[in-house]
Structure 1
Amino acid sequence: MATIHTHALFMPAKSGRSSEDVALQIEAAILAGKILPGESLPSEREMQHQFQVSRGAVREALRALKEKGMLDIRKGAKGGAFVKEVEVSNVSASLALFLKQHPIAPEQLIEFRENLDRTVTMLAIARSSKGDREKLLDGAHKLQDAAEEPDLDMEMLGEMDRELNLLLGRMSHNPIFEWVMGALQQGFSSHDYALYEDPDFRRQTVDNWVETARQIAAGEPLLALSSISNHYVLLRRCVERRAGDAGAAETVRGTSPDQ
């Protein structure tokens, strides 16, 4: 593994929060492509000299970058801090965390998801293999069967729905769509969970999934897009009903839902 020469990259760290500044400088160099995946950073002693900080500050910075999935810390004679290839799971997890920490209005998220699904569906029809299309349709039928079981397993339904969406994202053969789809599917971020909690909406939702998958498998873009639109009509109705029910409950308790 190559060791990057960083004399021109790093500057003495700012006093006060030196470990944070060290981490930020290393992260900036990685994101700018100045330190490539597989390359190792200088030794802790060298970085201590370059950043003009304590050994503890260097180690704290490296530990923080390891937790972010940017570095691999190895021990032994050939050990050191190596830049990692960023994995899809890390990207999706970061975006999912951002969405959870920055609440977005349901309509805004639904609007984004609908447009994302329409684009992904068109790409899936154009690029996916026959095997993947058949797998999507088979998964939709299994979801439909699971939704009709007398003992409903809501967690399993949620997982099956997520897997279908992730498969659809992979069928686009565009890793960016796959990353974003993965992030949105973590924790039902698009409010789809509401559809599965209501018996009437649940039945319509799984039937719509089957119809969407059938049209994708048949290579019918217009009919597939029509099914996508129907899904989001259902979702908007469901979210509006839940909001109305919540407002009515607050009124009964003598509290305005806006307070």
Structure 2
Amino acid sequence: MFKHAKQNRVFQDVVEQIQDAILAGKLEPGTKLPAERELKDLFNTSRGTLREALRVLEQKGLIEIKLGVAGGAIVKKIDSDPIIQSLALLIRSGGISLEHLAEFRIKIEGSIVELATQRAIPENIQEMERLFKEAQTHFEAGDWESFLKTDEAMHTYLGIMSQNPVFQFIQKSIHDNIHQYYASYLPMNHARTLENLKDFEKLIAAMKRHDSAAAADIIRDHVERFSKKMQEKTMGAGRD
């Protein structure tokens, strides 16, 4: 399966050969790679280069390196966790502006909701209604933090309803991390939470009618309105 690495690009070639074997299905999840000494001979490389290549593959989420007698490099099932973590760090570091985040969400979330409405089954609507009632309970109790967590779950569930794993990834990545912006620029209060709740009530009603265009318009308006509130807050803070 493996051959001597090209000597002018040894490190990169080792990473690419193992990566390609995993992506092509030649190495299935749970498979243990050959021992370090064997891999070193197969690639005709140094132990240091090999170990660095394996660390890169581990960072990519393609393998897991276990220590001990029974340890070694084990092929992992490919998932989106490393990408989610990278995007989470970018958002949390402030590397994405409110304007860019709003622009992205208006364009993408409208499309996600449109698709989710078209593909919605009764169980999906029931789950959205359950989450809405949960949010309503938090609103009535004045528990803004719990309300935001439920709001996050509702947005994430829209990605699940789309039945598209890329959209699911996007929604989860954004809404697992977006509420730091609310905490900084638009803390929830009675009026803002009620406005948020009414938007979701209208959204669920449109989804029950299978009116995908109306549902998409509702979520776009929701995102744009709340984003403008946060942007106004940041401009006000800047003037202060």
| Identity value in percent | 23
Q: Secondary structure at the match of 1:72?
A: strand
Pair 1:209 & 2:205 matched: no
Which whole-Å deviations, capped at 9, do the CAs of 1:187-224 have from their partners, x for residues lacking one? Answer: 21694554553443222112212221222133222331
Pair 1:11 & 2:6 matched: yes
Instruction: Output aligned runs, 1:1-259, within 5 Å.
Output: 5-7=1-3, 10-12=5-7, 21=12, 24-25=15-16, 28-29=19-20, 33=24, 35-38=26-29, 39-73=31-65, 80-100=72-92, 103-150=95-142, 152-154=143-145, 156-188=146-178, 191-193=181-183, 194-249=185-240
What code does the residue aligned with 2:200 have? W
Cα distance in 2 between the residues matched to 1:234 and 1:198: 16
Check conservation: 1:72, 1:81, Cα contact below 8 A: yes
What code does the residue aligned with 2:109 have? D
Q: Do the aligned partners of residues 30 and 49 (structure 1) sit closer, same or farther apart at CA in structure 2, a change above 3 Å counting?
A: same
Q: Secondary structure at the match of 1:42?
A: coil
- CA shift, 1:147, in A, is 2.3
TM-score by length of 2: 0.81
Mean alpha-carbon deviation: is it higher for 28-37 or for 102-111?
28-37
Specify which structure has the bigger relative contact order, considering alpha-carbon pairs within 8 angstroms and separated by 6 or more residues. 2
What code does the residue aligned with 2:101 have? L
Check conservation: 1:13, 1:22, Cα contact below 8 A: no
Mean alpha-carbon deviation: is it higher for 103-112 or for 232-241?
232-241
Mean alpha-carbon deviation: is it higher for 115-124 or for 25-34?
25-34
Check conservation: 2:22, 2:28, Cα contact below 8 A: no
Partner of 1:257: none
Q: Secondary structure at the match of 2:64?
A: strand
TM-align CA RMSD:
3.2
Greater helix fraction, Structure 1 or Structure 2: 2
Cα distance in 2 between the residues matched to 1:22 and 1:34: 18
Mean alpha-carbon deviation: is it higher for 237-246 or for 55-64?
55-64
Check conservation: 1:110, 1:190, Cα contact below 8 A: no
What code does the residue aligned with 2:50 have? V
Q: Do the aligned partners of residues 138 and 214 (structure 1) sit closer, same or farther apart at CA in structure 2, a change above 3 Å counting?
A: farther
Which whole-Å deviations, capped at 9, do the CAs of 1:39-71 have from their partners, x for residues lacking one? Answer: 543321122224444435433442443344210
Q: Secondary structure at the match of 2:141?
A: coil
TM-score by length of 1: 0.76
Cα distance in 1 between the residues matched to 2:21 and 2:210: 42
Aligned pair count reads 238
Cα distance in 1 between the residues matched to 2:116 and 2:155: 12
Cα distance in 2 between the residues matched to 1:190 and 1:212: 24
Partner of 1:256: none
What code does the residue aligned with 1:6 have? F
Check conservation: 2:63, 2:75, Cα contact below 8 A: yes
